[in-house]
Amino acid sequence: MVVHIESRDGTTIGFRRLGQGPGLVVVHGSIVTGDEWSRVASALADRFTVHLVDRRGRGLSGDADAYSIDTEIADIAAVLDAAGPDASLVGHSYGALCALAAVASGVDVPGLVLYEPPVPVAGPLAGAALEPYAAAVDAGDLDRALTIAMIDILRVPTAGVERLRGTPIWSRMAELAPTWVRELRVIDGHGPDVSTYASVTTPTLFLQGSRTAQHHVVATEALRAVMPDTRLVEFAGHEHFAHVTTPTAVADAIAEFLTAVR
User: What digits encode the pLDDT tens for the residues 3-46?
Assistant: 999 999 999 999 999 999 999 999 999 999 999 999 999 999 99
The DSSP secondary structure of the chain, one letter per residue, reads -EEEEE-TTS-EEEEEEEESSSEEEEE--TTS-GGGGHHHHHHHTTT-EEEEEE-TTSTT----S---HHHHHHHHHHHHHHH-TT-EEEEETHHHHHHHHHHHTT---S-EEEE-----TTS-SSGGGHHHHHHHHHTT-HHHHHHHIIIIIS---HHHHHHHHTSHHHHHHHHHHHHHHHHHHHHHHH-S--GGGGG--S-EEEEEETTS-HHHHHHHHHHHHH-SSEEEEEETT--TTHHHHSHHHHHHHHHHHHHHH-
Mind listing the pLDDT tens digit for each residue in 14-26? Answer: 999 999 999 999 9
Q: Could you tell me if 140 and 243 are in contact, meaning their C-beta atoms sit under 8 angstroms apart?
A: no
Cβ atoms < 10 Å from Cβ of 219:
26
When pLDDT is averaged across residues 143-147 and rounded to a whole number, the result is: 94
- Tell me the three-class secondary structure of 26-74, residue by residue: EECCCCCCHHHHHHHHHHHCCCCEEEEEECCCCCCCCCCCCCCHHHHHH
Q: What is the mean pLDDT of residues 223-243?
A: 95
The pLDDT of 209-225, averaged and rounded, is: 94
The whole-number pLDDT of residue 7 equals 98
Q: What is the pTM of this model?
A: 0.95
Q: What is the Cα–Cα distance from 127 to 85, expressed in whole angstroms?
A: 39
pLDDT in the model for residue 59: 95
**Mean pLDDT value across residues 226-247:** 94
Predicted confidence at residue 156, as pLDDT, reads 79
Q: Note the pLDDT of residue 164.
A: 83
Residue predicted with more confidence, 85 or 24: 24
Confidence (pLDDT) at 111: 98
CB distance 174 to 142 below 8 Å:
yes
> Can you say whether residue 172 is alpha, beta or left, with left for phi > 0 and alpha for psi between -120 and 50 degrees?
alpha
Q: What percent of the chain has pLDDT over 90?
A: 85
Q: Mean pLDDT over all residues of the chain?
A: 95
Mean pLDDT of 237-241: 89
The predicted-structure confidence for 160-179, as pLDDT tens digits, reads as follows: 788 888 888 899 889 999 99
Q: Residues 151-158: what's their mean pLDDT?
A: 83
Residue 143 makes CB contacts below 8 A (sequence gap 6+) with 174
The answer on pLDDT for 157 being more than 80 is: no
